[in-house]
Amino acid sequence: MRIENHPILIFDRGKILSFFFNGEVIKGYEGESIAAALHAAGIKVLSHSHELHHPRGLFCAIGNCSSCLMVVDGQPNVRVCVEKLREGMRVETQKGKGCLTQ
């Protein structure tokens, strides 16, 4: 959910952008991370563990922990917690460790 009224902060959001999450159109704001936009849209499951395929979400949100790796515009293993949103971006759930010949 987006915070609209905050006692201290004013959220100066950028312009509205559209991007794709597994083919579905989602809206976010310029300047925010992919993970923040997905979270605001209620999407918390970002990846799955390699062995047991447990759902995984973000954990650190600053690019340290690799819990949020996704395929972005065909490129696997993108840390969506620090990758900024761009218009028309294709964000997809990654299966396995990722392939480079897409």
Partner 1 sequence: MRETEVLVVGGGPAGMVAAIEAAERGAKVVLTERDDRLGGQLIKQTHKFFGSQKQYAGSRGIDISKLLEEKLSNNPNIEILTETTVLGIYEDGVVTMEGANKHLKLKPKRTILATGASEKFLPFANNDLPGIYGAGAVQTLMNVYGVTPGQRVLMVGAGNIGLIVSYQLMQSGVEVAAIIDAAPKIGGYLVHASKIRRAGVPIFTSHTILNAYGQEFVEGAIVASLDDKWQPILGTEKDLAVDVICLAVGLSPLTELCWQAGCEMKYIPEFGGYVPRKNEFLETTVPGVYVCGDAGGVEEASAAMVEGRVAGISVAASLGFGLNIVQDLEAALKDLDQLRSGPAGEKILKGLEKLFARGKQHVS
**Residues in CB range of 67: below 8 A, 6 or more apart:** 46, 47, 56, 57, 58, 59, 60
Tell me how far apart the alpha carbons of residues 96 and 98 are, in angstroms, rounded to a whole number.
6
Q: Which is nearer to partner 1, 14 or 88 (CB)?
A: 14
Q: How far is the CB of 26 from partner 1 (least distance, A)?
A: 13
* DSSP state at residue 39: H
Q: Is residue 75 involved in binding partner 1 (CB under 8 A)?
A: no
Q: Is residue 44 involved in binding partner 1 (CB under 8 A)?
A: yes
Task: Please report, as ranges, the residues that interact with partner 1 according to CB under 8 A.
Answer: 1-3, 5-9, 11, 13, 32-33, 36, 39-40, 44-46, 49, 54-65, 81-82, 84
